[in-house]
Amino acid sequence: MARTLRFNIFRYNPRNPASVAHMREYSLGETESMTLFIALNRIREEQDPSLQFDFCCRAGICGACAMVVNGKPGLACHTKTKDMPGEISLMPLPFFKLVGDLSVDTGSWFRGMYQKVESWVHTSKTFDPAAEEERMDNELAEKIYELDRCIECGCCVAACGTALMREDFLGAVALNRVARFLIDPRDERTEKEYFDVVGSDDGVFGCMGLLACEDVCPKDIPLQDQLGMLRRKMALAAVRGMLPKFLRKD
């Protein structure tokens, strides 16, 4: 028999002076193939049109709908109710600024991150429209794409113990971004330049190794591997920095 699901949803509208943060309960009949996307839209349209949440592609590709589902950050559109107990609690992602209810402002934080790690290809060359493209090994292209698959949903940062304690911690998403450029031969940054970005407690050395980031990543990106790789490189770069000049390579 179809279940009646009980949703406990965080409600707070900072724009309404009368609003206080609280959990509100809604019940909804479960239907076949129901996801949290379907459920939340039905709650909004049938019961409470003021309920704020974010969906965009609703296909697990854009990262808009990250929230804390029964205690764990994840994408709501991906979450099938049949995999859930009858009682479902939904909270907004911590760490990011709250817009209202389940909606948070990830955009501002991520744009800050792009500037901090200079999330773009650094090159001294200029584009020549008449020239053939520079060649690249397909395997390398695929390796770069593997790290480019991050959808900036924010789950890894929201789940990160260090980030919650230390506001300036770059977080797994930024370290993964740096790794993406580090393996890209088009980016001419030296190890030392990368070190200046991530070689501190706000970067690779801040991580306490709790592994929650990788655990919650909806794209299964091997975030800890990237961290390990960066740490080894950065430790090396740090050592190289102490070597006498004639022994250095960069």
Partner 1 sequence: MQIIQTDLLCIGAGLAGERVAIEAAGNGFSVICLSLVPARRSHSSAAQGGMQAALGNCVMGEGDSPDVHFQDTVKGSDWGCDQEVARLFVDGGPIAMRQMAFWGVPWNRVVPGEHTYYKGGKPFTAIEKQEKEGLITARNFGGTAKWRTCYTSDGTGHAVLYTLDNKAAQMGVEVHDKTEAVALIHDGETCMGAIVRCLKTGELRAYLARATLVATGGFGRIYRESTNAVINDGGGLIVALDTGVAMLGNMEAVQFHPTGIVPTDILVTEGCRGDGGTLLDVNEYRFMPDYEPEKAELASRDVVSRRMTEHMRKGLGVKSAYGDHLWLDIRHLGEKHIRHNLREVDEICQSFLGRDPLYQLIPVRPTQHYSMGGLRTNKDGAAYGLKGLFSAGEAACWDMHGFNRLGGNSLAETIVAGMIVGGKVVEFLAGTDTVFKTKCVREAFDAQQGRIDRLLAGQNGAESAYAIRDAMFDSIMVGAGIFRNGRDLDECVKTLQVLHERAGRVGLRSDGLGANPEQALALKIQGMVKLALCVAYGALMRTESRGAHTREDFPERNDRDWLSRTLATWKDGADLPTLHYEPATQTFEIPPGDRGYGGGKIIPMQTEQGR
Q: Should residue 132 be labelled a site residue for partner 1 when binding is judged by CB under 8 A?
A: yes
Backbone angles phi and psi of 169, in degrees to 5: -60, 135
Q: By CB under 8 A, name the one of 21, 23, 136, 236 that touches partner 1.
A: 136
Neighbours of 111 (CB within 10 A): 11
Q: Should residue 198 be labelled a site residue for partner 1 when binding is judged by CB under 8 A?
A: no
Q: Should residue 27 be labelled a site residue for partner 1 when binding is judged by CB under 8 A?
A: no
Paired tokens of 141 = 């292209």
Which region among 44-52, 203-211, 221-229, 241-249 touches partner 1 (by CB under 8 A)? 44-52
Q: By CB under 8 A, name the one of 87, 145, 208, 210 that touches partner 1.
A: 145
* Closest separation in Å from C-beta 183 to partner 1: 10
* Closest separation in Å from C-beta 113 to partner 1: 10
The letter for the amino acid at 76 is A
The closest alpha carbon to 79, from 100, 107, 53, 58, belongs to 58
Nearer to partner 1, 99 or 238 (CB): 99
Helix (H, G, I), strand (E, B) or coil at 23: strand
Rg (the chain; Cα; Å): 22
Paired tokens of 2 = 């179809």
Q: Should residue 124 be labelled a site residue for partner 1 when binding is judged by CB under 8 A?
A: no
Neighbours of 68 (CB within 10 A): 21
Q: Should residue 62 be labelled a site residue for partner 1 when binding is judged by CB under 8 A?
A: yes
Paired tokens of 158 = 């929201």
Which region among 136-144, 155-163, 190-198, 226-234 touches partner 1 (by CB under 8 A)? 136-144
Q: By CB under 8 A, name the one of 8, 24, 72, 148 that touches partner 1.
A: 148
The residues near 71 (Cβ < 8 Å, ≥ 6 apart) are 89
* Cα three-residue angle 197-199-200, rounded to 5 degrees: 100
Paired tokens of 64 = 């808009």
Contact predicate 223/215, CB 8 Å: no
* Closest separation in Å from C-beta 76 to partner 1: 12
Q: How many residues bind partner 1 (CB under 8 A)?
A: 65
Q: Give the residues lining the site for partner 1 (CB under 8 A).
A: 13-16, 32-33, 35, 37, 44-45, 48-52, 54-64, 78, 80, 99-100, 103, 105-107, 110-111, 114-115, 118-121, 123, 125, 127, 129, 131-138, 141-142, 144-145, 148-149, 151-152, 184, 186-187
